[in-house]
Amino acid sequence: MSGKIEENKMNAIMIIEIMGRPKEHLIQTLEALSKEISEEKGVKIVTKKINEPVLAKDQKDLFTTFAEIEIEVEDPLLLTILMFKYMPSHLEIVEPEKFILTNVGFGDILNEITRRLHRYEELVRVMQIQMQAQAQKVPQLKVIENIKEEKKESKKGKGKFKKK
């Protein structure tokens, strides 16, 4: 942990977890990610610790590990951008204990979050449309959809009395 930091700068610890195989690949991947983070404009890595991969629970050849990376960023907006870009499993702001955001600064953070959420929503919608288009092309998927529809229809009719 560093000493007193300049106004607007922030120190934070990001925990980045990954799972995969082989275990050597996990360490290489976390090394590459930490290098990428260090090359971000306005970001400085203060400390970095990459833990040895361990077998994932109930697995024979699937490993998990994590990196603990302390960073110093120039402003809170940059920390928000890093959060979305690298998706840490945990983020802890170390310094400063208290900080002041202007309404414009806070608005910038909220706008960045909103912009990214809209982008993710757009991607999901495109994927849904593509899946529907694929379902129209693949006869087996049509059969599965028809079975689902038949089940829905049969559930609607249950519990109701019919006149003869």
Q: Which CATH architecture has domain 10-100?
A: 2-Layer Sandwich (3.30)
Please list the pLDDT of the chain residue by residue as tens digits (164 residues).
Answer: 444 445 678 999 999 999 999 888 999 999 999 999 999 999 999 999 999 999 988 888 899 999 999 999 998 999 999 999 999 999 999 999 888 888 998 899 999 999 999 999 999 999 999 888 887 777 666 666 777 777 777 766 655 545 54
What's residue 151's pLDDT? 75
Q: What is the CA radius of gyration of the chain?
A: 24
- Judged by DSSP in three states, 92 sits in strand
Residue 80's pLDDT is 92
Burial call 56-79: b when 16+ CB within 10 Å, e when fewer: eeeeeeebbbbbbbbbbbebbbbb
45 close to 37: Cβ distance less than 8 angstroms? yes
| Residue 5 confidence (pLDDT) | 47
